Homo-oligomer: A and B are copies of this chain.
């Protein structure tokens, strides 16, 4: 049995059924016997019946196949099947089950004829035990996404990206693809990857100048926003940092947004709050397709979670609902320092003493969001010296800039943004003070303020951090299929 994949005027084409498509048919009339392919997730033989759970990675739900064991041949055939093998099933009959969790199953009468083994597994196929640790799975890069826990995070990521796409399109943003290769070296910061060709390791030979992998597409997005008013991208960015933590990747995807005609940082934070709430709201609406019914979160060590399956799932759903329904907090950096100082002096010492003029440390960020506000919180208006040269200077006398970081409980910063300095003279002065643009390499950037400039601003959201935060797993390495970190994680 095949089905048309998509309604289309002039063509019909056919592609195989998926497990997801069977779940979509639960409330529809059934036609004839069903053929479906997938991998064995588990197999259980009772006396007169066998339960075969098939998965194909398209759905959070496995497909329950019931095989009555009539002859000894049936028993022997089923006993030879192994977890991980690829099967092609035909002549399966749909059976409603009146079970809310599993509203249907497929029944197979003659297993030796209807079940065809199309892909074997080796004797040592490693995905056997029910509970594996995440570090163990990460050592199996070709197989780890066959676990429900890790495949669900990839599907969540895909869903979240699609919702951003719809949201930005509805709001008249153009999705753009700024360059990965750039000659912008961010003023010699040490954390760049440099690019050269095989033939000539002297990198200036191919593009005529030293070429790097982008660390942020913002400066290019500013150009495009000054033509398109509103643009966004989801693009790989690269940092050759030595930080080998669960929050850092050498190659990560960043969602960056730039928009014109905004004049206050609070316009920007209200936009960010509405944007993220909209995305999470779509997750809430689709949570049964995003979170496995049997949700078991895997751990960094050998302990399995102390929560029950239902508690775990409810915990994530509650997190999503809280994020959507509660008003997020906003606080100026100066006030945040006061709160942190008070806590530092009166309750518990931080490792780093909170000091006006210094960046917030991760421990400070986690305290503010996780303990003090127990909510996402925008910290705005940082000291000028803490932040990048392009941020718009506030007109207040406290030498701050119109920027924000969005901090969330447990994770810390996930979004950072600012208004951009649109005053040509102020921008030039700031760059000169910082010793920048000595050979005119950023003239193109400052010139944007002279040719139809506009008040504008934007933000960047670390995509793996965001997906990981939503999924409640605390290591962003699982939110990207093949992670690259400074710990030498390129297998292929």
Binding site for B on A (CB under 8 A): 5-6, 8-16, 18, 20-21, 37-39, 56-59, 84-86, 88, 118-122, 125, 141-143, 145-146, 151, 154-155, 157-159, 161-162, 165-167, 169-172, 174-184, 190-199, 201, 206-209, 211, 213, 219-220, 223-224, 226-230, 235-236, 238, 240, 250-251, 253, 259-262, 267, 270-271, 273-274, 277-278, 281, 324-325, 327, 422, 441-442, 444-445, 447-448, 450-455, 480-482, 484, 486, 488-492
Report the minimal beta-carbon distance from A212 to chain B, rounded to whole angstroms: 8
Interface centre among A8, A16, A227, A447 (most CB of B within 10 A): A227
| Contact, CB under 8 Å: A162 / B175 | yes
Complex-state Cα separation, A125 to B442, whole angstroms = 19
Name the B residues within 8 Å of A190 (CB-CB). 198-199
User: Quick check: B492 and A197 within 8 Å, CB to CB?
Assistant: no
Closest 10 CB pairs of A and B: A57-B228, A145-B227, A208-B488, A13-B274, A119-B453, A13-B270, A158-B175, A37-B261, A58-B172, A56-B229
A83 to chain B minimum Cβ distance, whole angstroms, is 9
The residue among A125, A177, A208, A281 with the most chain B CB atoms within 10 A of its own CB is A177
CB of A482 within 8 A of CB of B13, answer no
* Least Cβ–Cβ distance between A391 and chain B, in angstroms: 19
C-alpha gap A208/B485 in the complex (Å)? 11
Task: List, sorted by A's number, 16 A–B pairs whose CB atoms are closer than 8 Å.
Answer: A5-B171, A11-B277, A11-B327, A37-B260, A122-B451, A145-B227, A145-B228, A154-B224, A161-B165, A162-B165, A177-B253, A194-B195, A206-B240, A206-B486, A208-B488, A223-B481
Determine whether the beta carbon of A15 is less than 8 Å from that of B158. no
Q: Are A454 and B37 in contact (CB-based, < 8 A)?
A: yes
Query: A86 near B484 (CB under 8 angstroms)?
Result: no
Complex contacts, A120 vs chain B, CB 8 Å: 450, 452-453
- The distance in angstroms between the C-alpha atoms of A118 and B273, with both chains bound, is 28
A126 to chain B, nearest CB (A): 9
Inter-chain contact A452/B146, CB cutoff 8 Å: yes
Q: How far is the CA of A56 from the CA of B224 in the complex (A)?
A: 11
Which of B57, B121, B278 contacts A6 (CB under 8 A)?
B278
B residues within 8 A CB of A229? 18, 38, 56-58
A278 to chain B: which residues have CB within 8 Å? 6, 8
Q: How far is the CA of A360 from the CA of B152 in the complex (A)?
A: 43
B-side contacts of A38, CB under 8 Å: 229
Partner among B175, B201, B208 whose Cβ is within 8 Å of the Cβ of A161:
B175
Neighbouring B residues of A16 by C-beta, 8 Å = 261-262
Given A5-B171, A146-B452, A454-B37, CB of A481 within 8 Å of CB of B118 = no
A492 B182 Cβ-Cβ under 8 A: yes
Contact residue among B56, B86, B277, B484 (Cβ-Cβ distance under 8 Å from A181): B484
Q: Are B146 and A220 in contact (CB under 8 A)?
A: no
Q: A281 → chain B, closest Cβ, in Å?
A: 7
CB distance from A479 to the nearest CB of B (A): 9
The verdict on A197 contacting B240 (CB below 8 Å), with A13-B273, A118-B455 known, is yes
Q: Which of B125, B193, B251, B451 contacts A143 (CB 8 A)?
A: B451
Cβ-defined contact, A251 with B176, below 8 A: no
A161-B175, A181-B193, A193-B206 known; 18 other A-B pairs, CB under 8 Å? A6-B274, A9-B324, A18-B230, A39-B452, A146-B452, A161-B165, A162-B166, A182-B490, A183-B491, A183-B492, A193-B195, A194-B195, A194-B201, A206-B240, A206-B486, A209-B490, A223-B481, A236-B236
